[in-house]
Amino acid sequence: MNSINVFSYLKPELIALLAIDLVIAIILLAAMRFISGLWAKVNTTEELSQKDNFAFGISLAGSIIAMGVVLTGAITGESANSYLVEAIGVFSYGVAGLILIKIGRFVHDKVSLNKINKVEAIRDENVAVAIVDAAAVIATAIIIRAVLLWVEGMDIYTLIAVLTGFAVSQTVLVVVTRLRESNYAKNNQDASFQDALKHGQIAVAIRHAGHMIATAFAVKAASYFLVYQPTGIVTNLIGWFSISLIMTILIFLLNKLARRIILMNIDTCAEVDQQDNIGVAAAEFAIVVSIALILTALMA
């Protein structure tokens, strides 16, 4: 009986709009494979099915998930004025997200992991670097979605607000990476965090991936506290940065406490940094992301 009631609401117009959304989504998701191939300067078919390059597959998976995250902000199933308006809106939203994802990846390549040639490392099947790359684009996508949903309308002020929020997000992600580098060096006799990734330490990569995604949720939380002000460029900038920083610090402190309780009697630094214990790293990933999700839900 309930299923009959549900189908009674699926009018032909709504079904058509959903079909348009899904077709555009699949086209954009497929485009990520093509663009990922261009970024890595490889033939994707050859890398995935002939060379069995797991690293490229992981990197591509991160890009596809990132595109999916961004599209969830556009595909709502709500009625538009026309099929054309719906198609243009979803496609434009997706393309804007795709461009920002690629800019975020460029920043991560050239600034965050400036001592690693990520393209070359992934071509050489470095899974650790691929994991960090995938986490970086997913984190960027989470932030892009939050910023695009936060703004209202479509004008020059909207563009400035989006770019402002995006710039703040990338700054926070870079800061978190530098702090993780410093922490790694402190716990490992000044050893290099980026060298560990170069040498394929998967556990280190998994833990760092968790911190990046948790940071993305911290930045996302800023959208819950700030009211969009089209002309308040400086206010928006300071607000996004301040709240993002406070939330990041709060997640860091709560994660530290939770990790000591949940992973009691385990030397996580030794296990992850020196023994490449993927199991412990996965647990750390889960803890920090869970803390971020819970805290974000409480703030919403």
- Cα–Cα dist 160/119, whole Å: 31
For residue 161, give the nearest of 233, 93, 89, 100 by alpha carbon. Answer: 233
Res 167 pLDDT > 50:
yes
Number of structural domains, the chain?
1
24-38, 81-95, 249-263: which has the minimum mean pLDDT? 81-95
Percent of the chain at pLDDT exceeding 90: 34
Q: In sequence order, what are the residues at sequence separation of 6 or more whose Cβ sits closer than 8 angstroms to the Cβ of residue 201?
A: 128, 273, 276
For residue 221, give the nearest of 296, 142, 298 by alpha carbon. Answer: 296
Over the stretch 120-131, which tens digit does the pLDDT of each residue have? 999 999 999 999
Q: Which domain holds residue 123?
A: 2-299
- Cα–Cα dist 172/213, whole Å: 12
Q: How would residue 248 be classed by pLDDT, with cut points 50, 70 and 90?
A: confident
> What is the DSSP annotation of 58-126?
HHHHHHHHHHHHHHTTT------S-HHHHHHHHHHHHHHHHHHHHHHHHHIIIIITTTS-HHHHHHTT-
Task: Decide: pTM greater than 0.75.
Answer: yes
